[in-house]
């Protein structure tokens, strides 16, 4: 079955970025000239997905508004003859159909995905985390969809991380299937240092079968007292084959302050209007250090 829908959980409080996120959703913090969430949505659109389900919470209305049509703003821009900007904002509102589902309690990523069960139904779907940006020539989501067309099973995106960082991620252990692809044997959420030989960390891209919803319904709270998606994925991997895909591209944790700054520089270097001037500025700063 074709993957038509994507789930983007945006209900988190953004505590890693306080005080900036006290009144502004973390997903609306800008990378150069657009909010982080727009890059995620554009990746989905470029991968051929037809519908997005946002998992929201109180105070996240700005995200929905960003992808809505603003008649008043559109009128003002036209009156000022700012046609190019007007067309860009219309493009944003026409990107894709967006549905919102409210996560009423902060019970973890697994619970956030479970809340979309009635919208997703019996279809496979993509999950993209709003903190994770992947800069690549071919969208990370599309890379995974290409693999899904071959295997028709659940897939998690992975990257290699230093040994001292494995306790910050869900970790996959598996055996090679083909280039950059592994069959999952075991998954563990934020393992203690030295408890696994694997350095394959799960990042915020997944393709999941609808079987995951029944498993999430029976998954007890795990690490941090939350319903962990990794725990449910481990259960699913014991019932049917699951794959881990080492994507091509560079991932930035835009929910982390240092990762956010790295993302700004990387995306600015690729910006069609700003790249050259910005590169010269960075070189000047580096020379003066």
Instruction: List, for residues 235-276, the tens digit of each pLDDT value.
Output: 999 899 999 999 999 999 998 899 999 999 999 999 999 999
Is residue 8 helix, strand or coil?
strand
- Helix, strand, coil shares of the chain as percentages rounded to 5? 40, 25, 35
pLDDT: is 194 or 40 the higher one? 40
Cα separation, 108 vs 189, whole angstroms: 13
Instruction: Quickly count: other Cβ atoms within 10 Å of residue 198's Cβ.
Output: 21
Contact between residue 204 and residue 247 where contact means Cβ atoms under 8 Å apart:
no
Tell which residue, 184, 250, 216, has the closest CA to residue 103. Answer: 216
- Return the CATH number of 5-288, one of 3.90.1150.10, 3.10.150.10, 3.90.550.10, 1.25.40.10: 3.90.550.10
Contact between residue 108 and residue 226 where contact means Cβ atoms under 8 Å apart:
yes
pTM: 0.91
Name every residue whose Cβ is closer than 8 Å to that of residue 281 and which is 6 or more positions away in sequence.
Answer: none
pLDDT digits over 173-189, tens only?
A: 999 999 999 999 988 88
127 to 164, 209, 227: CA distances (angstroms)? 27, 11, 16
Contact between residue 198 and residue 172 where contact means Cβ atoms under 8 Å apart:
yes
Cα separation, 65 vs 38, whole angstroms: 12
Residue 223 reports pLDDT greater than 70: no
The sign one gets for the Cα dihedral 6, 94, 91, 99 is negative
């Amino acid at each position: 079955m074709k993957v038509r829908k994507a789930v983007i959980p945006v209900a988190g409080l953004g505590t890693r970025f306080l005080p900036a996120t006290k009144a502004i959703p973390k997903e609306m913090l800008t990378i150069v000239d657009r909010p982080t969430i727009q890059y995620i949505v554009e990746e989905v659109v470029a991968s051929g997905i037809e519908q997005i389900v946002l998992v929201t919470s109180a105070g996240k209305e700005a995200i929905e508004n960003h992808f809505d049509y603003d008649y008043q703003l559109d009128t003002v821009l036209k009156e000022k003859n700012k046609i190019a900007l007007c067309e860009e904002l219309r493009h944003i509102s026409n990107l894709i159909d967006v549905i919102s589902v409210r996560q009423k309690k902060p019970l973890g990523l697994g619970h956030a995905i479970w809340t979309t069960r009635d919208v997703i139904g019996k279809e496979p779907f993509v999950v993209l985390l709003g903190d994770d940006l992947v800069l690549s020539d071919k969208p990370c989501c599309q890379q995974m969809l290409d693999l899904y067309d071959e295997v028709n099973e659940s897939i998690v995106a992975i990257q290699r991380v230093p040994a001292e960082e494995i306790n910050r991620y869900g970790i996959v252990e598996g055996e090679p299937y083909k280039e950059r692809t592994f069959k999952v044997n075991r998954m563990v959420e934020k393992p203690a240092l030295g408890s696994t030989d694997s350095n394959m960390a799960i990042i915020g891209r997944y393709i999941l079968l609808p079987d995951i919803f029944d498993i999430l319904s029976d998954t007890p709270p795990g690490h941090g007292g939350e319903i962990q998606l990794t725990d449910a994925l481990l259960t699913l991997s014991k019932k049917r084959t699951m794959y881990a895909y080492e994507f091509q591209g560079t991932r930035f944790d835009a929910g982390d302050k240092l990762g956010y700054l790295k993302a700004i520089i990387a995306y600015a270097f690729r910006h069609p209007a700003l790249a050259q001037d910005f590169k010269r500025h960075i070189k000047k700063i580096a020379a003066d250090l």
